[in-house]
Homo-oligomer: A and B are copies of this chain.
Amino acid sequence: MVRVGIVGGSGYVGGELLRILLNHDQVEVSVVTSRKNKGDYVFRTHPNLRGLTNMKFSDVDVESLASKCDLVFTALPHGSSAKMVSRILERGLRVIDLSADFRLKDPRLYEIWYDWKHPCPELLQKAVYGLPELHRDEIKGAVLVANPGCMATSAILALAPLIKEDMIEPLRIIVDSKIGSSAGGASPTIFTHHAERYGVIRPYEAGHHRHIAEIEQELAEIGKREVNVAMTPHAVNTVRGILSTCHTFVKDKDITVMELWRVYRSLYRGCPFVRIVRDSQGLQRLPDPKFLIGSNYCDLGFDVDGHSRRIVVFSAIDNLIKGAAGQAVQNLNLMLGLDETKGLNVPPLHPI
């Protein structure tokens, strides 16, 4: 059994890591930390786990992590993670970091997008961007994996085939995302108060969302050209789920849906968590997070809009699973040489 620690276990991502790892037969969670809740039972914060674990939160202590763990998940807020990760790595542990602190290769991008000077830029080149569909082999050997952002995951998986095949204008890419409330974390504010958050269709960070930086980085790498992405997220009335609608303009106006099937299938062949959803019959015709809640799937679908010379790509994930904890466990499996799907073979719930 591999012993893992979870640093920052009281948030929603920490809770999901615990939930998933409880059913993972090669891994044992030996430590879960929370400054705020140290000494409390985990199930008081994550009531779904009542009866499933008697663990308590402990305070963060690198020595204790070093003695009790082989690998550590860090689920701390952006900016708090970098130094902690650096100290854990020094003890020889492997780390999967769920913050944004190691996702970007170029330290200057942190100054531009995060208004933050990276405290350990030398680690950025060591870190592997933890999107298995694009970086599977690098992840296997990584000591530090930077788990992608939830919106970034949905957007990159949607756009990578089109960029790789040079099918769209790379400087006119629009990602219009719709997202559930769990993506905002577990801290209540007036904006997340049920009476205020229920029923909303609420845009935010209209012109400058931080996930753009990692999306452009990854797409530029796969496309070997400059890419410009405009992203606007919208809070909608559900708890889990992201749908990213990617509006792109085709280079060749004669593109067909058949060709799109080919490029998507080609890039994601052998990827157990990517499903292509484009159907003319049945209850579901295009991706919708409703049909994958509780699973690690990313559902991708597309349409060609001849009127406006667009390709529209839809990408749906459960933001806490493929967008965070599930993808982290997928990375863990790869790092440990296990089957990529271990602990993640859970069919989605329907209806939900």
Binding site for B on A (CB under 8 A): 12, 15, 19, 22-23, 40-41, 43-52, 172, 174, 176, 178, 180-182, 184, 186-204, 206-208, 212, 228-230, 232, 234, 236-243, 245, 247, 249, 275, 277, 279, 281-295, 297, 301, 303-308, 310, 312, 314, 316, 345-352
Known contacts A40-B282, A49-B347, A203-B245; can you find 10 more A-B pairs with CB under 8 A? A43-B282, A47-B277, A48-B350, A181-B194, A192-B195, A198-B351, A203-B312, A206-B312, A208-B307, A234-B243
| Nearest B-chain residue to A42, judged by Cβ | B282
Q: Which of B12, B23, B200 contacts A345 (CB 8 A)?
A: B23
Q: Give bound CA distance, A133 to B345, whole Å.
A: 29
Q: Which of B46, B239, B314 contacts A198 (CB 8 A)?
A: B239
Q: Give bound CA distance, A69 to B197, whole Å.
A: 35
With a cutoff of 8 Å between Cβ atoms, the chain B residues found around residue A295 in the complex are 48
List of 3 A-B pairs having minimum Cβ-Cβ separation, nearest first: A44-B282, A207-B305, A230-B308
Closest Cβ of chain B to A268, distance in Å, is 12
> Is A195 in contact with B12, judged by CB distance below 8 angstroms?
yes
Q: Give bound CA distance, A84 to B290, whole Å.
A: 34
Tallying the copies of this chain within the complex gives 4
With a cutoff of 8 Å between Cβ atoms, the chain B residues found around residue A47 in the complex are 277, 282-284, 291, 350
With a cutoff of 8 Å between Cβ atoms, the chain B residues found around residue A52 in the complex are 347
> Is B243 in contact with A201, judged by CB distance below 8 angstroms?
yes
With a cutoff of 8 Å between Cβ atoms, the chain B residues found around residue A305 in the complex are 206-208, 230
With a cutoff of 8 Å between Cβ atoms, the chain B residues found around residue A312 in the complex are 203, 206-207, 230, 232
Q: Give bound CA distance, A284 to B118, whole Å.
A: 33
> Is B178 in contact with A186, judged by CB distance below 8 angstroms?
no
Can you identify 21 A-B contacts, CB atoms within 8 angstroms? Answer: A44-B281, A47-B350, A48-B291, A50-B284, A51-B297, A52-B347, A192-B193, A198-B237, A198-B239, A200-B238, A200-B288, A201-B242, A201-B316, A204-B285, A207-B303, A208-B305, A212-B307, A232-B245, A232-B247, A234-B245, A293-B352
